[in-house]
Chains A and B, each alone.
Chain A
Amino acid sequence: MANGSNGGNGQGAGAKLLTRVKEAGEKVGGSQVMTSIFRPGSIFRKGYTDSPRNRSYVIMNSVLYHLHPVKVKRHAVKVSYTLCLGGLSFFLFILLTVTGIFLMFFYRPTEAQAWTDVQNIETAVYFGSLVRNMHRWAAHLMVLSVFLPMSRVFYHGAYKAPREFNWVVGVILLTLTLLLSFTGYLLPWDQLALWAVTVGTNMMGYTPVFGSSVKYALLGSKEISGETLLRWYVLHVLLLPFVIVIFMAIHFWRVRKDGGISGPL
């Protein structure tokens, strides 16, 4: 309120509004109903007070949060250092898993049904179109967001000892992300999918010595067919996610064990 009288007209109005909102908040928060519902110990048996001890318990007592150490280096929380890119890649992976599971309910990986099912998702399923769009765009974004922190790590020289091995795991994660995206590319079974994958797999056929075997194992036939669709579906929804989760676990664990993210330049 003191601010309101000091500042100009606009600033005064802003400060006044702020105090109004604050007062309203206090009125609601302090009301009989709110205090009886949210009295400390009502929902959470032990209320939370901000103390170093409780700050530590938040991390220690949560299976999700304890991916993080209780304390991190001060410079590690500077957004401009990492832009959260690694964490966002992980988050996109979770988002893709969730939207992917949704899509799996409505999709059958057969030559006859795949494309119709996708069209069905687009037109007849509640939020189907939105979820498919999210799955697709998040996939493209994830390729970028896995690649960007790698560049960040290189420019910061963060792959140096003791983090050499974690860099190797990172390269593996990038490869797996590309493969996940590529196997998913075929699943809509439209012209775009078919021919993009044809171009990609033709290149694999040129692997020296066992090129044709590699291609056959991947396609399940001489050319892309219904067999390929089933194969890539299983790769996309089961095998590759399984493998990438293992490597992610190693990656995150090593980030902590190698002393958190690298120091400031």
Chain B
Amino acid sequence: MPDIPEHLLKRSAERRKALGLPVPGETGEGEPAAPEAAEEPAAAEAPTTEEAPAAEAGSGGEESAGEEKPAKSKGGVPAHLLERSRKRKAAAAGGGGATAAAGGARAAATAAPTIPAPAGTGPGGHTQRLLTVVKSGSIQQTRAETQDKVHTWPHLLVIEFAALLGVTAMLLVFSALVKAPLLGLADVNQTPNPSKAPWYFLGLQELLTMFHPMVAGVTIPGMGLFLLMVAPYVDKNPSNKPADRKFAISLFTLFLMFWAVLVIIGSFFRATGFNFVFPWNAGIYFDL
């Protein structure tokens, strides 16, 4: 059922009033026509006007008549148009083609009773056919969803600028105070004990102590990345409320905790020979 926006209905009602036409809801569908011509078709369309008063209370205009009945659309054609077509056919058959013409040709239709249906028309004496029905929603978006928005300048840019300055200041102070490590010249023949990877790979190095290098160094991180990438395609739960996503959230938290624990153990709890120690006993073997 096409949804006609309220403001269009209102405008149509105003125009009809200005032209002295009955306001929709009392008559069936139809374009604004000359006032004197409007009387006769309304009389000729007895079945249509009969059902219209029932729709008056709903104030939904012409479609509400269709809404009363169970929607029995066929092949995408709205039920009320099918209904109208059926009634017109019946009227044309019964009334001797009194109102064979439909739509905007109302003024012409007043003369129709005297003229016989033209020869060489389509099946059933039709001169016009319904080619297609374009639903209003498919061609025009009449009402944009209102969103609570603010101007990027100044609201967002000010925050970003503050954050940027804050990080720069923090980094500058930290860099002035803490020196980046620079050990002796690289020497292929002198392996330090322990040799550690950069901290973000220490979780993998920790896995090396438990698994075959192929599993720890390739399979597990590969699987991890792959699982992360397919996560949105696997997780089909449309809600983003934490209460609805207990499983996903616990799984991800578990994954994070697992990784964080591995990295922390690899960083601080591994000493000479990559043996497990407590940092408060053996000291820290860790360089950033």
Chain A residues engaging chain B, CB cutoff 8 angstroms: 52, 55-56, 58-59, 65, 68-77, 79, 84, 87-88, 91-92, 95, 115, 118-119, 122, 129-130, 132-138, 140-141, 143, 151, 154-161, 163-164, 167-168, 171, 175, 178, 181-182, 185, 188-196, 198-200, 202-204, 206-208, 211, 223-224, 262-263, 265
Given contacts A88-B167, A167-B231, A189-B186, contact A73 B245 (CB under 8 A): no
Q: In the bound complex, what is the Cα–Cα distance between A208 and B185 (angstroms)?
A: 33
User: Do B208 and A191 touch across chains, with their CB atoms under 8 A apart?
Assistant: no
Q: In the bound complex, what is the Cα–Cα distance between A156 and B241 (angstroms)?
A: 8
> Which residues of B in the span 155-199 have a Cβ within 8 Å of any Cβ on A?
155-157, 159-160, 163-164, 167-168, 171-172, 174-176, 178-188, 190-192, 195-199
| B210 contacts the other chain (CB 8 A) | no
Interface centre among B163, B176, B204, B225 (most CB of A within 10 A): B163
Given contacts A76-B156, A195-B192, contact A55 B151 (CB under 8 A): yes
| B37 contacts the other chain (CB 8 A) | no
In the assembled complex, how far is the CB of residue B206 from the closest CB belonging to chain A, in whole angstroms?
12
| B287 contacts the other chain (CB 8 A) | yes
Q: Tell me whether chain B's interface is mostly helix, strand or loop, or mixed.
A: helix
User: Do B179 and A129 touch across chains, with their CB atoms under 8 A apart?
Assistant: yes
Q: In the bound complex, what is the Cα–Cα distance between A163 and B204 (angstroms)?
A: 29
9 residue pairs of the A-B complex, CB under 8 angstroms, read A55-B154, A74-B150, A77-B156, A91-B163, A115-B185, A129-B179, A151-B252, A154-B231, A192-B182
Top 6 A-B pairs, shortest CB-CB distance: A203-B217, A157-B240, A133-B175, A164-B232, A194-B186, A195-B195
| B242 contacts the other chain (CB 8 A) | yes
Partner pick for A159 among B183, B205, B231, CB 8 A cutoff: B231
Residues of B within 8 A of A130 (CB): 172, 175-176
| B233 contacts the other chain (CB 8 A) | yes
Partner pick for A118 among B182, B214, B245, CB 8 A cutoff: B182
Residues of B within 8 A of A132 (CB): 180
In the assembled complex, how far is the CB of residue B46 from the closest CB belonging to chain A, in whole angstroms?
52
User: Do A134 and B200 touch across chains, with their CB atoms under 8 A apart?
Assistant: no
Partner pick for A156 among B163, B181, B191, B240, CB 8 A cutoff: B240
Q: In the bound complex, what is the Cα–Cα distance between A262 and B241 (angstroms)?
A: 12
Residue of B nearest to A74 (CB): B148
User: Do B200 and A143 touch across chains, with their CB atoms under 8 A apart?
Assistant: yes
Partner pick for A72 among B150, B185, B213, B237, CB 8 A cutoff: B150
Interface centre among B152, B205, B231, B237 (most CB of A within 10 A): B152
Residues of B within 8 A of A118 (CB): 182
Q: In the bound complex, what is the Cα–Cα distance between A193 and B217 (angstroms)?
A: 19
User: Do A133 and B213 touch across chains, with their CB atoms under 8 A apart?
Assistant: no
Q: A87-B164, A189-B185 are in contact. List 17 more A-B contacts (CB 8 A).
A: A73-B150, A74-B149, A84-B159, A130-B176, A136-B288, A140-B199, A157-B240, A159-B232, A171-B225, A175-B225, A199-B197, A199-B205, A203-B204, A204-B218, A206-B218, A211-B214, A262-B240
